[in-house]
Amino acid sequence: MIFAWSILGAMGAAFLAWPLSQVLPRLSGWILSLAPLSIFFLLLGEIGSVSDGAAHVKSFAWVPSLNIELAFRLDGFSLLFALLISGIGTLVTIYAGSYFNGKSTADKGRFLSLILAFMAAMLGTVLSDNLIVMFVFWELTSLISFLLIGFDGEKSEARASALQSLIVTAGGGLVLFAGIVLIGITLDTFSVSEVLERAGELVASQLAGVIAACVIVGAFTKSAQFPFHFWLPNAMAAPTPASAYLHSATMVKLGVFLLARFDQVFATLPGFGETLVVAGSITMLVSGLKAIRAESFKAILAQSTVASLGILVMLIGLDSEVAAVATVGFILAHALYKAALFFCAGTAIHATGEARLANLRGLGRALPFTAIATILASLSMAGLPPFVGFISKEYLFEAQLDSSWAIFPVVVAVIVNAVMVGVAGVVSIRPYYWPTKTPTVVEHGETPGMLVGPMALAGFGILIGLFPAIVAGTVIAPAASALRGEQIEVSFGLWHGLTPMLALSVIVVVIGSVIAIWWEAIHRRLAQYDRFFSLLGDRFYRSAIDSTLALAASSTKLLQNGDQRRYTAVVVLTVTAALAAAFVSMPDFAFLAAEGDIRFAVVAVLALMVLGAIATALVRSLIAGLVASGLVGFGTAVLFMMHGAPDLALTQIAVETLLVVLLTAVLLRLPARRRHSRTGGERNRDAVLALGFALMIFVALASVGVSPIDLRLSEYFANASYVEAYGRNVVNVILVDFRAIDTLGEIAVVAFATVAAWGLLRGPAKLIRTKD
Amino acid sequence: MSLIFTTMTRIFFILLLVASIFMLFRGHNNPGGGFIGGLFAALAFALLALSDSVDTARRALMVHPITLLGLGLLLALLSGLPGLFSDSSFLRHWWTSIGALHVGTATIFDVGVFLVVIGGVLSLVFRFYQEEPA
């Protein structure tokens, strides 16, 4: 099973990208594209092994005690995704190599490295057979997406968009993780293959609804479905090659991938399909509207991508058999034309430095091949014959008409597809061939590296449209069969005869043409309703984030205001309240274990300590206060000594002494006597707090002695100390041997906290020095 | 600083250092150990810094306290590795006997604790003392 190693191959290429871009800056894109290309051909070789609907699983042990193994699964559906990932990955690598030629080699190396690392993560997600492993790769794609959207980190807009996408997708990922854990609890397995086999068991369980909801939230956030649709258009802050790859062709389809996989499991769960159809339809309508309203070239494409994802989600929710074929067909068609369109948009923006569609004019002469590729890809998006987009749209309508749903999804699909036709017309004709007297100035023309991608994808679109048999039996049928869990025959032909679907297609093209012709007018009309559009955007996300930050600010102001007395008061109050609550809730509460004789020596030491404590509170001189509180500390050490704990006594003495030495250094710089800095009222309040705290601690300590102590552990350590760890000092043996890992953790915390405090102490010292 | 304090500190410095080493190594069978030993040693240098100057204490320590801190953490971490390889159990200590004396990786671990405590306390103590307004 060589397919599992493709992930490792992509990972290796990611590590090579940086050094290679330093050594061979102009060629690195071409050379690195060999990695995804060979993965692509390697996967092509696997087509034969899954064509009969079979699934191959290969696993390596990872964490056997938790049921987690590095298991990978190849079936028709994951193969389709893997082919898209590696195929488009090849073209993106080449394209990015040229796109970044004007930039620094450091930027180029960083970008190529991220793109290849992303490819590894994507391959991992679609090929995983273990849900935990899949989740790890899933979140990895979110993280790399974050890094790519924020690639131009010096722009605040890019940083905000990157953070937004991370919060939405990684947050949804956590919900998905909850769903995965619940699946593990219910079925006692994380294996995708086994979950698919035992679907009935999962649906019958009590948790089925919760699990389905978790999976849906995870998928909706990743695939930008309503109400999480707002992050994807903002993600266009990423460099265009990343937008083409992550935010149209591959990553955003992961949610669709997940839903399609789990549709097989949850299809019989009431409400699952309906949720998908409704959410998909809302997403389609919202993003269709926003596409016409959008200004920049990439934003229009991004909105149409969200609409396409909505179509896919709706298709998965439909219950007809042909829906599986329609889903698979549309995934393929959309990946081909949308990636091509993003490439072309990137070339146009790169060549002119102008992102707004309205300002791009007359580029057909300067960028002739890009213009042709745009036209070809747009025709596929518009769903015109003989392009693959036409076939997939026919299947979309057939799936809707075949389903148990009434006319509602069909109407939505007609509207949204008409918008797609409009978008296709506008993005292909307007920037390139619209008659104009002042064509936009082109700084540099097309380069071979920036043409390979769009030309290849647009070419594939028409090739598959003309000869659908190339993919029908090899890719589409196995993928659709994998989704249905049974072998299905697929014709995937261009001509279906005079069907209702064809009639719908004609309607779509007519409305779409109207939209394309009057685009400018509709656009201006919609611009008057910007208040309405702001409701469809990320307004709710922003207010949620803002109020969270405001809450953090106000709670910090309340609890961490920089006044040590406030801190002490909060801690004391919390402990007192918690102890009081514990005592009240305890049914038969008894304290004061009055056993044994009263020993004079102990009483004497205690009396001294009490005196010390009272003196500390009363004296005005800081040095006297230090000495008085020292009485309490050393008294404690003596008490330890009297009760047979020399270890504790030694430590107490050492700490106490050190404290005196440390505080002396601080006190040397303070006035020897101080005035009260608190008002009388404040002091009374603090006194009440202190007394209440003391009372609670006294009651707690006194009641500790009442309940019998479980001595099993102490006895075990006492007995095993010398036999197993060769030490007679039980305390130390526990510290360095039995519980050494705890000690290691503690000293690590001490070390890091110290380094942090040390760094903080250095700051002001430097400032003072520069002032002098 | 008074002459008496300065003179006494020199004596105490040596005594405390000897005591700290003694505490560190007797810890396995008698009261003591890396933590107490480290406190004693830190006390010795802190006294020196207080009576003489921070620079004197720094010179006497020779290495930077933060370096000691990291070194201690590293030692504690490394002392766990032999057990990881032999018994696939991190921090399972190895033991050997020299005559009646048991020596093992636990001792290295304790030295690590010892160094972390010295480094941690002294890095802060030196900072505190140095900030004295000149």
Q: What amino acid occupies position A110?
A: R
pLDDT at A557: 87
A732–B113 C-beta distance less than 8 A: no
Of A661, A728, A751, the CB nearest to B116: A751
Out of A650, A655, A727, whose CB is closest to B28?
A727
- What region, left, alpha or beta, does residue A435 occupy, with left being phi > 0 and alpha being psi -120 to 50 degrees? beta
Q: Is the pLDDT of residue A255 over 80?
A: yes
pLDDT for A731: 77
Element (H, E) at A601: helix A600-618
**Would you state the torsion angle of the CA atoms of residues A203, A205, A211, A212, taken in this order, to the nearest 10 degrees?**
30
What is each CA distance from B119 to A106, A754, B69, B73, in whole angstroms? 39, 9, 5, 10
The Cα–Cα gap between A463 and A469 comes to 10
Range A428-452 average pLDDT? 80
Of B66, B77, B127, the CB nearest to A744: B77
Decide: A449 and A33 in contact? Cβ < 8 Å. no
Q: What pLDDT score does A423 carry?
A: 87
Q: How far apart are CA A476 and CA A474, in angstroms?
A: 6
Residues of chain A with pLDDT > 90, as a percent, come to 29
Token pair for A713: 């552990």
Query: Token pair of A474, please?
Result: 């090899």
Q: What residues in B contact A664, CB-CB < 8 Å?
A: 50
Looking at residues A86-109, what average pLDDT do you find? 89
Note whether A729 contacts B31, CB cutoff 8 Å. yes
Report the sign of the C-alpha dihedral through residues A350, A352, A358, A362, in that order: negative
Q: Computed from CA positions of residues A709, A712, A715, A716, in that sequence, does the dihedral angle turn out positive or negative?
A: negative
Average pLDDT rounded to a whole number, residues A431-449: 78
Between A328 and A484, the higher pLDDT residue: A328
Share of chain A above pLDDT 70, in %: 96
First-to-final CA distance of chain B? 15
R_g (Cα) of chain A, nearest Å? 34
Nearest CA in chain A to B78: A744
Confidence of residue A680 (pLDDT cuts 50, 70, 90): confident
pLDDT over threshold 80, residue A489: no
User: At what angle are helices A76-99 and A477-484 packed, to 10 degrees?
Assistant: 130
Of the segments A88-92, A248-252, A468-472, which one has the largest average pLDDT value? A88-92
Q: What is the ipTM of this complex?
A: 0.88
Q: Which two tokens stand for residue A54?
A: 């079979």
CA distances A611 to A111, A509, A623, A663, Å, are 70, 94, 16, 21
Looking at A236-296, list the stretches that DSSP marks H as alpha helix, in order from N- to C-terminal side.
240-244, 254-266, 272-293
The mean predicted confidence, pLDDT, of chain A is 86
- Say yes or no to pLDDT of B100 above 70: no
Contact assessment for residue A407 and residue A275, using Cβ atoms and an 8 Å cutoff: no
A732 and B69 within 8 Å at the Cβ level: the answer is: no
For B118, nearest residue in chain A (alpha carbons): A751
Please give the interface size between A and B, counted as residue pairs whose CB atoms are below 8 Å apart: 141
Tens digits of per-residue pLDDT, A683-723?
889 899 999 999 988 888 877 767 677 778 878 888 877 77
Q: How confident is residue B133, by pLDDT bands cut at 50, 70 and 90?
A: very low
**Residue A118: pLDDT band with limits 50, 70, 90:** very high
Work out the pLDDT band at B119, boundaries 50, 70, 90: very high
CB half-sphere exposure, A586, CA atoms < 13 A: 13
Is the CB of B72 less than 8 angstroms away from the CB of A751? Answer: yes
User: Residue A767 pLDDT > 60, yes or no?
Assistant: no
SS3 call for A140: helix
- How many domains, in total, are found in chain B? 1
Average pLDDT over residues A725-753: 84
- The parent domain of residue B76 ranges over 3-130
Judge whether residue A188 has pLDDT over 70.
yes
> If we measure between CA atoms, which residue out of A95, A127, A133, A126 comes closest to residue A112?
A95
- Tell whether the model's pLDDT for residue A363 goes beyond 90: no
Please tell me the distance from the alpha carbon of residue A298 to that of residue A356, in angstroms, as a whole number.
Answer: 8
Residues from chain B that touch A757, judged by Cβ atoms under 8 A, are 124
> Got the DSSP string for A155-196?
SHHHHHHHHHHHHHHHHHHHHHHHHHHHHHHHHS--BHHHHH
DSSP character at residue A296: B
pLDDT bin (cut points 50, 70, 90) of residue A494 is confident
What is residue A673's predicted lDDT score, i.e. its pLDDT? 65
What is the predicted pLDDT for the residue at B131?
A: 60
Rounded CA-CA distance A744/A449 in Å is: 54
Cβ contact (<8 Å) for B47 and A765?
no
Query: Average pLDDT, stretch A639-654?
Result: 86
> What's the pLDDT tens digit per position in A518-575?
888 888 888 888 777 777 778 888 899 999 999 999 998 888 888 888 888 889 999 9
Q: For residue A748, list chain B residues with Cβ-Cβ distance below 8 A.
A: 73
3-state secondary structure of A621: strand
Strongest mean pLDDT among A173-177, A362-366, A409-413, A755-759: A173-177
| Cβ atoms within 10 Å, residue B32 | 26
pLDDT band per the 50, 70, 90 thresholds, residue A467: confident
pLDDT at position A770 is 43
Q: Which of B39, B73, B127 sits opposite A654 (nearest CB)?
A: B39
